[in-house]
Each structure stands twice: as structure tokens, then as C-alpha cells.
Amino acid sequence: MNREGASPSPAAAPAGGHRPVLLDEAVDALVTRPDGIYVDGTFGRGGHSRAVLARLAGGGRLIAFDRDPEAVAEGRRIADPRFAIIHASFAALRPELAALGISQVHGLLLDVGVSSPQLDDPTRGFSFRHDALLDMRMDTSGGETAAAFLARADEREIAEVIREYGEERFAVPIAKALVARRAGGAPVERTGELAALVARVVKTREPGQDPATRTFQALRIHVNAELDALAQALNDSLELLAPGARLVVISFHSLEDRIVKTFIARESRDVPDRRAPFAPPRPLRLRAIARVKPGAAEIAANPRARSAVMRVAERTAVPAARPA
């Protein structure tokens, strides 16, 4: 049953019946007024977007973003005048929304990282469980593939990416092996080749974790500039969110969550200007609301939910200007 204020004609169900992680918790935290303007920065297959639309009244509006052409095609199946989808990264929130005449919104949702449909599609090259071309681009319409990066980068750059974005202690020997293979005339071009190379180099790993897990994560984050996009969207949220609006971010590994946690903590406290120690401190701009983890039932139904963390913050009221 739809909640009060819901659209009389609910949107079509998402392809494949995929249910996003922390679906109810995220929408409960996000939607504080049914006539508001909301942004889903990562449409995926539309689970969160459809749940948000079910909460909105006729005057509400939802703008979704995704850089994956397949996700955008799925979004265009939603025949709802309150909904629009934009083929762009959430790093472009402000200019894309400005083009629609939107300067402020009442909630922003970011479900960060690779989606289950992307992982499960053998042709996308995100997973070592399927042998495929080593692509890893979220936006397949342009940009450099993971294979292209490994074909041109030097050993130092490859090692830095794997160490920084994969937190991989064997980053240097993995990079050496990749460059040596390339020098021998057989550059790594497929997921199976990369997984096998890493398995030969990495002799120890946490129980239950494939040796290639951290390397695949690192290359994916680098190819898609995921952490830079997240930092840009968080900074832009301070200008986009109306007073009382909610920021809801779901992340799946420590690198993402650390950025979100640090951002909310920084903007949730008064910060004095060290250059002007007697000036009043900068007013806090966010209020931390919650940190939520999936429950046991959700983890049992979807093991990928195990590492998810949702953080919620609320935009504080903009203080009035002081009289001259």
C-alpha cells in the first residue's frame, strides 16, 4: 500500500526485481516533505527512486542521475511527470540542476560504488568471477578502460593506484608483474588474466577473500574517479540543500565511508578561523543525524549488504546576516 501523498500510478518495478541495500531506512531518512524536490545521485536500477516517488505528493519532484547508459535506459521506462533522469555523474549535480532551473533541493541520496547489476553483468569487466574484457567503466560511452590504463601507465603509477584505492600491501609486486607481462608482449586485457596474475603474486589473503579483490576495487575506483566524484558531490551538497534538507549517503568500503564521515564531522561543528582568532567561528552547516547498518535479516538475504554503512545529516538553517 502506498503511503499518504503517494502517486496514484506507481512506477514500474525495477528490472530483475533488485532491492537496494537499506531501502526503507534510506527513504525514511531522506523524504521529509512530500511536495519537495529530491535527487537520487545513483539511479542504478531505480529501487530507491521508485520508493521515493511512492512517498511524493503530486507537487513533488525527483531528479535522478547515473553515468551508466544502461541505468539511464531503465530510468526512462518510468512514465511519471514528477521524474527525470540525467546521464551524468553526481559530480555534475550543480550545473545539471542549474540547467533545469533548480538551485536548491530538499534531499540528496547517494548510493556509492558499483551496483549489483554492473557486478553481475559478465560483459562489464567489474568482477573476477567472469572472464571478460577488462573494461570497468561505469559510463561505457567514453573514457579510459582499466585495460587501457594498464597498457599505458608506468609501474609507479599502477602501484600507487592499487595501494591507495585498494589498500593492497602487495601493490608494488603486482605492478611489477603487470609491467613485466606487458614488456613481454602480452598485456593484461581480460579479467581472468588479471585475477590469475594477482593470485600468483599475492600468496596470503584474508580468509574467504579472493586475492584479486583489492586490485579490482582499486582499478574500478581509479577508472571512474569515484572518490573525487564523491568529494565533489558532498561539497556541492552544502549549496544545494535547503535548510532542513537531508543528505543520505550509503557506502560499501572504508575509503568511501571515511570521506563521508570526515565531511559530516567537519561541517557539523563550529570552526574558528585561525587567521582571525577573535572572529566568531564559522557556523556549523550540517547536523549529523544517524549512522545505520543493515540488520541481520537483510544481510542474510543479501550478503553484499554486509559492508554497507548509511550516514545521514541535515542542512542547518543559514544564519541571518549580522547588522553592519
Closest CA to 118 of 54, 55, 71, 64: 71
Phi-psi region of 179 (alpha: psi -120 to 50; beta: other; left: phi over 0): alpha
pLDDT at 17: 53
Q: Is the pTM of this model over 0.85?
A: yes
Classify 81 as helix, strand or coil. Answer: coil
Q: Are residues 135 and 214 in the same domain?
A: yes
Cα angle vertex 249, ends 247, 252, to 5°?
A: 175
- Does 105 reside within a domain? yes
pLDDT at 317: 86
- Does 9 reside within a domain? no
For 65-75, the pLDDT digits (tens) are 999 999 999 99
- Does 207 reside within a domain? yes
- Is pLDDT of 64 > 90? yes
Task: Give the mean pLDDT of 32-39.
Answer: 97
**270 falls in which pLDDT band (50, 70, 90)?**
confident
For 218-228, the pLDDT digits (tens) are 999 999 999 99
Q: Are residues 179 and 261 in the same domain?
A: no
- Report residue 241: phi and psi, to 5°: -75, 130
Q: Across the chain, what does the average pLDDT equal?
A: 90
Q: Are residues 30 and 98 in the same domain?
A: yes
Q: Are residues 58 and 135 in the same domain?
A: no
pLDDT at 204: 75
Q: Are residues 78 and 144 in the same domain?
A: no
- Distance, CA of 117 to CA of 131 (rounded, Å): 16
- Is pLDDT of 143 > 50? yes
Q: What are the cell numbers at 256?
A: 568511501
Classify 170 as helix, strand or coil. Answer: coil
pLDDT at 320: 45
- CATH number, domain of 242, equals 3.40.50.150
- Asked if 42 and 111 touch (Cβ cutoff 8 Å), the reply is yes
- Which residues contact residue 52 at a Cβ distance below 8 angstroms, ignoring those fewer than 6 apart? 27, 30, 31, 38, 40, 62, 109
- 154 CB-contact burial (10 Å; exposed 0-12 / middle 13-18 / buried 19+): exposed
**170 falls in which pLDDT band (50, 70, 90)?**
very high
